[in-house]
Amino acid sequence: MPAATLRTDDELLSSDDPEAFGLFYDRHVKSLLGYFARRTHDPEVAADLTAETFAAALVARRRFKAGGAPAAAWLFAIAARRLADYQRRGRVEQRLRRALAIERRPLSESDAAMISLLGDDAARSVLEELPPEQREIVAAHVIDERPYDELAGELDTSEAVVRQRVSRGLRTLRRIRGTRR
């Protein structure tokens, strides 16, 4: 296994080596595409927002503080802002991509289909690592974006209990995947 693949996300973002950011991109592009695909239901927009997020991350990587929040959380915070901007404006901001000379390539039908699948498959495959009872509640709240009160009514329990179950599931997932919070 090449030494570069053994580096942590924090090390990759803190590196001056251009290949390091490429490896960081490779590690997270599928999950980011899935994140956007689940929220926009449009593979073209998901691809555009993913490109815009990585462009913003590349520009801002010097502001990333190693040892703080995990690099993936930092990336998804950028993604959440890009998504909010998209929802507010109704279009993808392309300023950073133009500044970095990142070309927009049209999506093929197969790429669009793959991105749509990532919306479900990437997130659900990560959840397969959880015990079934935690998997179901985390999937319902995080992937299906169902509110706590709705889940509490369905499970005939309190909203606080549902919040606690989701929190436990996410904590278990962080422990399994070796990430800290």
Q: Is the dihedral of CA 4, 8, 11, 15 positive or negative?
A: positive
Q: How far apart are the first and last CA of the chain?
A: 28
> What pLDDT, on the 0 to 100 scale, is given for residue 124?
62
Average pLDDT, the chain: 78
For residues 21-45, give the mean pLDDT.
Answer: 87
pLDDT attached to residue 24:
92
pLDDT in tens, 69-127: 788 888 989 999 988 888 887 656 556 556 656 666 665 666 556 555 555 555 566 67
pTM above 0.75, yes or no: no
